[in-house]
Amino acid sequence: MKPLELISFDLCPFVQRSIITLLKKDIKHKVTHIDLKDKPEWFLKVSPLGKVPCLKVGDEILFESAVINEFLDEITGGEFLPKNPLEKAKLKAWSEYCSALTMTQFAAMAAKEKESYEKNIELFKVQLGRLEEHASGGSTFDPSGFTLTDTCILPVLQRTKFLDDYFQTKILANYPKLTRIGLAHLEQSYVQDSVPRDFNVKLLNYLNNADVYLVE
C-alpha cells in the first residue's frame, strides 16, 4: 500500500470522520495538522478547494471526507458499506445528510447573536430528530453494523455531548437511539484518538476566542 498522509485541522469534524475510519480499520497513516487561518502555500497547491481533509496517497491527492472514507474502506475490504447497491446508496445518502447536520451544528456554535443561535439550534434538533427516527441498528445507525455513516454521526454526537456538558443544553436526552450509539462508541479509542487529548478545552478556547453567543 502506498503511504497515506491525512492533512488535517485538529477540531474539524469532517477530518475526524476520516481519522475514525483510519483508526477503526487500523490503517497505517500519518496526520499533518495545518492552521486554517494561515494555510501554508504547499497546502493550497495540493487542496483544490483549500479545505481539509486531504489524503495524500503516495504522490496523489484525494479530497472530500466522503470520497476519502469510501476509498479507505474499499482498499481494506469494504465492510463499512453494504454490498447491495440500494442499501449502499441509502447509507451514503444519510452520510450526506450528516454533512448538513454538521454544518447546522457549527452554525449554532459559531453564532454571534442569540437569534442566530436559537434559530440554528432548533433546526439542529429537528435534523437530529430525523436521524433518530431512521436509526435502527441499536449501537450503530444501521442493522448491518458499523458503517461509514457512523463515522459521520460520531463527530456530531461528540460535539453535542460537549454542548450538554459545558452549556447544559440537554439535547441528547431527547434522542435515546442516538444516545445509545454515542455510549457505544464515544469512549472507544478510535473516537478518543481521532481528536486532540484536550479536545474539549481546545474547542472551548476556540469558541471563547471567536466571541460567540454561547460563551457570553
pLDDT-derived band of residue 169, with 50, 70 and 90 as boundaries?
very high
Spatial separation of the C-alpha atoms in residues 10 and 203, rounded to whole Å: 10
Q: Could you tell me the pTM of the whole model? A: 0.96
Q: How far apart are alpha carbons 214 and 216 in whole angstroms? A: 6
Which are the contacts of 174, defined by CB distance < 8 A and separation ≥ 6? 125
- Residue 90 CA to residue 34 CA, distance in Å, equals 33
- Distance in Å from the first CA to the final CA of the chain: 49
Res. 27 pLDDT band, cuts 50 70 90: very high
| Predicted confidence (pLDDT) at residue 119 exceeds the cutoff of 90 | yes
Nearest to 10 by CA among 171, 143, 203, 169: 203
How many beta carbons lie within 10 A of that of residue 117, not counting itself? 19
Which CATH code is given to the segment(s) 4-74?
Answer: 3.40.30.10
Average pLDDT value for residue range 164-185: 98
Domain ranges of the chain: 4-74, 85-215
Element (H, E) at 131: helix 114-134
Note the pLDDT tens digit of each residue in 150-160.
999 999 999 99
Q: What is the pLDDT at residue 19?
A: 98
Q: Would you please indicate which residues are annotated as catalytic (active-site) residues?
A: 12
CA–CA dist 200, 83 (Å, integer): 37
Q: What percent of the chain stands above pLDDT 70? A: 100
From the list 74, 50, 76, 77, the residue with the least C-alpha distance to 63 is: 50
Q: What is the pLDDT of residues 53-70, one digit of tens each?
A: 999 999 999 999 999 999
Q: Rounded to the nearest 10 degrees, how much is the dihedral formed by the CA atoms of 105, 110, 112, 115?
A: 0
- Torsion, Cα 21 22 25 29, to 10 degrees, reads 170
pLDDT score, position 216: 83
Specify the pLDDT at position 25: 97
pLDDT at 2: 86
Residues 120-147 have a mean pLDDT of: 98
Gap between the Cα atoms of 39 and 19, Å rounded = 20
Whole-number percent of the chain with pLDDT over 90: 97
Number of C-alpha atoms within 13 angstroms, CB side, residue 211?
0
Q: Which listed CATH number (1.20.1530.20, 3.40.30.10, 1.20.1050.10, 3.40.50.720) goes with 85-215?
A: 1.20.1050.10
Which of the four pLDDT bands, split at 50, 70 and 90, describes residue 1? confident
Answer positive or negative: Cα dihedral of 69, 36, 12, 50.
negative
The closest alpha carbon to 155, from 6, 7, 5, 18, belongs to 18
